[in-house]
């Protein structure tokens, strides 16, 4: 009951007070605001060897208020006036604010502090660290503005690995003073392995004469090591340039000292500073300190190329064909002495090299795009000189000369009749064995066959086999050809062909170092334009102009930008890509190559090549997709339109010519025995060339080339002369004439060893060997003819006739005439030489 009474009395008193007074002021004694208390709660793992970027955490408490934030300052434990007992912020003498407190609401922060005192105690000499001790003070501030009167503090030692670096000059670091031109462009490169960017933040450099106070000229490390404290003194600012930002761009980390006296010696030194204020301390010869000798400049390294002649050298002499286009590109590289190219100019037949107005200069001196290549130029005869002149920032002028002699054309009345060139490299072949066991593909049999051309009955007037023939071991030159009205060349692709290897493109690098196909100039072209006629024969003879590529996919289309065919992980060449001209224009390569540009063809293919692939069939070589037993060239059929246009009659030569019975005697014997079959191991001819015909599934647009010569039949550059008779079609005609008009029957197992049916025929001849055929009686045969049958294997070309003396077309045969009926082929060759080339062939 005592508790209840007490409560009631208290209530009554409150009610009385409420009803009896209007005074609202509070009474009592004011309680002062309590100060916050600050504590540091997080620190680096070790305080004695912290880094220059250190993180700390802190917290605070306040018994009667909220924490508004924190104030902090860092002492370097030196003379800054900051200590645990005296956190001075105002200079008592001047009233200036010093070491102010900095406010933050964060409870942690990372501080980047100095570590700029060298030689941290206990470090190895090879890994110098800089250091400095610091103290962090933190005090809390409450929402009423009260601050902790006893700031929390912690002391630590920051350390950093001193930055390192070196003088940057190409020939620095040798055993004696580097030879430099009068304008010295020299730079630096530095590292800071414990800074995120890995580089210093500032750099300064020293430049002074290398002559010591006692007159010694420093030229070698031995002398420098005796005087380095005098010559490179970090404390003496006399020769040091001001600190500057370390630029991440190497090209901007350079300084220049122009117009130095030749013969003088200098020292150039660098010192680096990092984010923590640590500086490099190295003064090693050839590393942080460069020793330089001023010499007369040698000028930049020059790289000069002609698009066809290739890499050129100063004072080089080259013979070129009359009318041969020439365009030079070049690059001048002064990096060996950190120089700068100020101007370039070029010209032909300049008379006064010091006269900027000489008419021979093609452009004014400068660095524009026109100063980096020459426009196309050609000459019909005589000696000519190309000049390239380059000036650098050391007043050095370099002049290159390229001496050219244009070999002129010889009037037809002064030319000899015929030059014979052997470009069929003898490789010791023991094949094409005749009945007597003789290897008829060997040069001991082949070369005598061609001697029917030498002067005498049936030969060319005046032709001397010892003088007017070049063996495959000799190197034909343009000079050799222009002396003749016509050239007959029998050839087959081989890497070592002495003439054609100089015409083929090869992998190389352009002036910018990019890997490209470097095309060569084919001087046969100007000869065929205005010098005389060319007669090229042989299987793989046109291939002699093409770079060796074991992943050609046929047909090859010259006037096409088709990219390589992708088959699995491999790329296959189907066209010839692009080429960049000196002015940057991109053009197709294919139309610039000899087969298109000079011979006039648009497509090329081979009957059954073992080293090539049929389009879109990358898994198996063409030799298995089109087997030679079926698609190989068995005979030559004169094109009817050609026969009519040129009036070829029976007295000229046969209009159908088969393989020579002494070379291809296996089929000859089986023919007369009535035992011919598809499969044979004695028919080796697989790489005869046919032109302007697509027998694959490739859908690339193409068209035969057109020529302006009125004599060109139908206005086409290529006039078919011989069309091919495939061995399969020859067999078909044989069996039809021997009482089997159903041949090739898909159900006849005697001819299709793998069984009967279409698949058996494809297995035997190859999936891309056969095509449909319509018999004379209208009967359709799904696989009645070889795809190569009727294709163009020999043609006349009107591509080069417009300016040619006599205006007669050139002749190309993609087969070897030697393996066909000997006397009949000789008749055809005589007809070409006499009737077409208008040479004097003796009766």
Choose the weakest-confidence range: 66-80, 212-226, 526-540, 542-556: 66-80
pLDDT bracket for residue 11 (50, 70, 90): very low
C-alpha closest to that of 112 among 277, 249, 273: 277
Q: Is the pLDDT of residue 516 over 90?
A: no
Q: How many CA atoms lie within 13 A of 750 on its CB side?
A: 8
SS3 of residue 363 by DSSP: coil
pLDDT bracket for residue 843 (50, 70, 90): confident
Q: Is the pLDDT of residue 261 over 60?
A: yes
Report, as an integer, the average pLDDT of 696-718.
96
Q: Tell me how far apart the alpha carbons of residues 810 and 596 are, in angstroms, rounded to a whole number.
A: 14
53-61/37-42 β-pairing = antiparallel
> Are 133 and 102 within 8 A, CB to CB?
no
Q: Could you check whether the bond before residue 744 is cis, i.e. omega within 30 degrees of 0? A: yes
| H helix or E strand, kind and range, residue 673 | helix 665-673
Q: Could you tell me which CATH number the domain at 301-407 has?
A: 2.60.40.10
Strand partners, 370: none
> Are 654 and 827 within 8 A, CB to CB?
yes
> Where does the chain hold its CATH 2.60.40.10 domain(s)?
37-161, 164-294, 301-407
Report, as an integer, the average pLDDT of 531-545.
97
Task: Provide the Cα torsion 649, 650, 656, 661; round to 10°.
Answer: -150
pLDDT bracket for residue 685 (50, 70, 90): very high
Q: Tell me how far apart the alpha carbons of residues 530 and 415 are, in angstroms, rounded to a whole number.
A: 13
Give the tens place of pLDDT for each residue, 557-598: 999 999 999 998 899 999 999 888 777 788 999 999 999 999
Give the tens place of pLDDT for each residue, 389-421: 999 998 899 999 999 999 999 999 999 999 999
CA distances from 611 to 375, 517, 552, 607, 614 (A): 40, 20, 8, 12, 10
Give the tens place of pLDDT for each residue, 286-304: 999 999 999 988 899 999 9
Give the tens place of pLDDT for each residue, 153-203: 999 998 888 889 999 988 777 789 999 999 999 999 999 888 888 899 999
Q: Is the pLDDT of residue 446 over 50?
A: yes
Strand partners, 557: 603
Per-residue confidence (pLDDT) for residue 761, from 0 to 100? 85
Give the tens place of pLDDT for each residue, 617-672: 998 999 999 999 999 999 999 999 999 999 999 999 999 999 999 999 999 888 88
Cβ neighbours for 25, distance < 8 A, ≥ 6 positions apart: none
Burial class (CB in 10 A: 0-12, 13-18, 19+), 584: exposed
Give the tens place of pLDDT for each residue, 800-814: 999 898 899 999 999
C-alpha closest to that of 572 among 607, 606, 620, 540: 620
| H helix or E strand, kind and range, residue 421 | strand 416-423
Choose the weakest-confidence range: 54-68, 79-93, 269-283, 300-314: 79-93
Q: Tell me how far apart the alpha carbons of residues 794 and 725 are, in angstroms, rounded to a whole number.
A: 12
Burial class (CB in 10 A: 0-12, 13-18, 19+), 148: buried
> Mean pLDDT score of the chain, rounded to an integer?
89
C-alpha closest to that of 841 among 457, 484, 525: 457
pLDDT bracket for residue 751 (50, 70, 90): low
Per-residue confidence (pLDDT) for residue 550, from 0 to 100? 78
> Are 324 and 526 within 8 A, CB to CB?
yes
In the chain, what percentage of residues exceed pLDDT 90? 69
Q: Tell me how far apart the alpha carbons of residues 619 and 613 are, in angstroms, rounded to a whole number.
A: 8
Q: Is the pLDDT of residue 6 over 50?
A: no
Per-residue confidence (pLDDT) for residue 513, from 0 to 100? 72
Q: Tell me how far apart the alpha carbons of residues 464 and 588 are, in angstroms, rounded to a whole number.
A: 43
Q: Which CATH number fits domain 37-161: 1.10.10.10, 3.40.630.30, 2.60.40.10, 2.60.40.1930?
A: 2.60.40.10
> Are 158 and 185 within 8 A, CB to CB?
no
Q: Is the pLDDT of residue 460 over 90?
A: yes
Q: Tell me how far apart the alpha carbons of residues 763 and 758 are, in angstroms, rounded to a whole number.
A: 9
Q: Is the pLDDT of residue 2 over 80?
A: no
Q: Tell me how far apart the alpha carbons of residues 269 and 239 are, in angstroms, rounded to a whole number.
A: 10
Per-residue confidence (pLDDT) for residue 129, from 0 to 100? 84
> Are 159 and 120 within 8 A, CB to CB?
yes
Q: Is the pLDDT of residue 53 over 90?
A: no
Report residue 666 CA to chain centroid gap: 51
810-813/533-537 β-pairing = parallel
Q: Which CATH number fits domain 164-294: 2.40.110.10, 2.60.40.10, 1.10.10.10, 3.10.50.40?
A: 2.60.40.10
Per-residue confidence (pLDDT) for residue 254, from 0 to 100? 92
In the chain, what percentage of residues exceed pLDDT 70? 93
Query: Is the whole-model pTM more than 0.75?
Result: no
pLDDT bracket for residue 80 (50, 70, 90): confident
Per-residue confidence (pLDDT) for residue 269, from 0 to 100? 97
- The tokens of 144 are what? 């009423």
Report, as an integer, the average pLDDT of 86-97.
73
Choose the weakest-confidence range: 7-11, 310-314, 492-496: 7-11
C-alpha closest to that of 300 among 185, 166, 172: 185
Per-residue confidence (pLDDT) for residue 671, from 0 to 100? 85
416-423/469-470 β-pairing = parallel
> Are 394 and 256 within 8 A, CB to CB?
no
> Are 266 and 209 within 8 A, CB to CB?
yes
Task: Provide the Cα torsion 426, 428, 429, 430; round to 10°.
Answer: 140
Burial class (CB in 10 A: 0-12, 13-18, 19+), 99: middle
Per-residue confidence (pLDDT) for residue 749, from 0 to 100? 53
C-alpha closest to that of 802 among 529, 465, 464, 547: 529
């Amino acid at each position: 009951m005592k508790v209840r009474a007490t409560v009631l009395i208290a209530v009554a008193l409150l009610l009385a007070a409420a009803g009896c007074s209007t005074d609202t002021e509070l009474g009592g004694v004011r309680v002062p605001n309590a100060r916050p208390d600050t504590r540091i709660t997080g620190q680096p793992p070790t305080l004695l060897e912290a880094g220059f970027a250190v993180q700390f955490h802190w917290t605070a408490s306040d018994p009667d208020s909220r924490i508004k934030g924190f104030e902090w300052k860092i002492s370097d434990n030196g003379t800054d006036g900051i200590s645990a007992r005296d956190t001075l912020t105002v200079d008592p003498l001047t009233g200036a604010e010093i070491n102010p407190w900095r406010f933050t609401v964060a409870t942690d922060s990372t501080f980047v502090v100095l570590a700029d005192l060298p030689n941290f105690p206990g470090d190895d000499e090879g890994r110098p660290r800089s250091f400095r001790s610091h103290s962090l003070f933190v005090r809390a501030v409450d929402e009423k503005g009260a601050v902790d009167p006893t700031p929390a503090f912690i002391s630590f030692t920051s350390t950093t690995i001193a930055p390192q670096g070196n003088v940057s000059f190409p020939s620095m670091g040798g055993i004696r003073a580097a030879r430099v031109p009068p304008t010295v462009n020299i730079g630096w490169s530095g590292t800071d392995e414990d800074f995120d960017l890995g580089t210093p933040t500032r750099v300064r450099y020293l430049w002074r004469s290398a002559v010591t106070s006692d007159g010694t000229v420093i030229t070698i490390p031995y002398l420098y090591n005796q005087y380095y404290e005098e010559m490179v003194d970090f404390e003496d600012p006399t020769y040091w340039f001001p600190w500057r930002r370390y630029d991440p761009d190497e090209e901007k980390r350079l300084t220049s000292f122009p117009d130095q006296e030749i013969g003088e010696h200098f020292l150039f030194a660098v010192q680096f500073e990092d984010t923590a204020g640590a500086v490099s301390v190295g003064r090693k010869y050839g590393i942080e300190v460069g020793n330089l000798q001023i010499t007369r400049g040698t000028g930049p390294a020059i790289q000069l190329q002609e698009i066809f002649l290739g890499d050129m050298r100063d004072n080089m002499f080259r013979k070129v064909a009359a009318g041969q286009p020439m365009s030079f590109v070049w690059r001048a590289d002064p990096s060996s002495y950190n120089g700068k190219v100020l101007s370039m100019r070029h010209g032909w037949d300049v008379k006064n090299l010091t006269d900027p107005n000489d008419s021979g200069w093609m452009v004014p001196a400068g660095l524009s795009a026109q100063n980096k290549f020459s426009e196309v130029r050609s000459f019909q005869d005589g000696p000519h000189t190309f000049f390239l002149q380059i000036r650098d920032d050391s007043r050095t002028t370099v002049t290159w000369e390229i001496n050219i002699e244009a070999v002129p054309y010889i009037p037809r009345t002064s030319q000899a009749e015929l030059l014979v060139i052997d470009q069929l490299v003898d490789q010791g072949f023991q094949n094409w064995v005749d009945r007597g066991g003789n290897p008829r593909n060997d040069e001991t049999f082949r070369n005598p066959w061609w001697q029917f051309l030498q002067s005498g009955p049936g030969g060319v007037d005046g032709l001397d086999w010892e003088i007017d023939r070049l063996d495959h071991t000799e190197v034909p030159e343009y000079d050799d050809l222009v002396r003749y009205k016509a050239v007959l060349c029998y050839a087959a692709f081989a890497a070592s062909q002495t003439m054609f290897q100089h015409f083929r493109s090869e992998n190389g690098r352009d002036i910018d170092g990019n890997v490209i196909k470097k095309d060569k100039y084919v001087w046969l072209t100007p000869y065929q334009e205005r010098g005389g006629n060319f007669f090229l024969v042989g299987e793989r003879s046109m291939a002699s102009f093409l770079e060796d590529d074991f992943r050609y996919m046929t047909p090859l289309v010259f006037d096409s930008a088709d990219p390589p065919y992708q088959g699995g992980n491999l790329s296959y060449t189907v066209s010839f890509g692009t080429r960049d001209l000196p002015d940057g224009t991109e053009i197709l390569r294919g139309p610039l190559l000899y087969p298109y540009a000079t011979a006039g063809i648009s497509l090329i293919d081979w009957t059954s090549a073992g080293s090539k692939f049929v389009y879109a069939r990358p898994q198996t070589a063409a030799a298995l997709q089109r087997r030679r037993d079926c698609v190989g060239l068995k005979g030559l059929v004169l094109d009817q339109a050609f026969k009519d246009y040129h009036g070829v009659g029976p007295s000229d030569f046969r209009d159908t010519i088969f393989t020579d019975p002494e070379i291809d005697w296996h089929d000859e014997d089986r023919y007369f025995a009535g035992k011919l079959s598809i499969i044979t191991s004695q028919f080796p001819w697989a790489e005869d060339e046919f032109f302007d015909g697509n027998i694959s599934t490739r859908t690339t647009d193409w068209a035969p080339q057109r020529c302006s010569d009125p004599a060109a039949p139908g206005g086409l550059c290529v006039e078919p002369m011989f069309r091919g008779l495939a061995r399969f079609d020859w067999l078909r005609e044989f069996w039809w004439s021997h009482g089997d008009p159903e041949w090739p029957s898909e159900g006849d197992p005697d001819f299709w060893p793998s069984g009967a049916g279409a698949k058996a025929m494809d297995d035997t001849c190859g999936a891309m060997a056969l095509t449909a055929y319509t018999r004379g009686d209208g009967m359709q045969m799904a696989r009645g003819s070889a795809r190569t049958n009727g294709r163009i294997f020999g043609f006349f070309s009107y591509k080069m006739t417009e300016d040619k003396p006599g205006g007669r077309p050139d002749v190309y045969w993609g087969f070897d005439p030697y393996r066909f009926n000997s006397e009949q082929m000789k008749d055809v060759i005589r007809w070409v030489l006499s009737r077409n080339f208008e040479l004097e062939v003796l009766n």
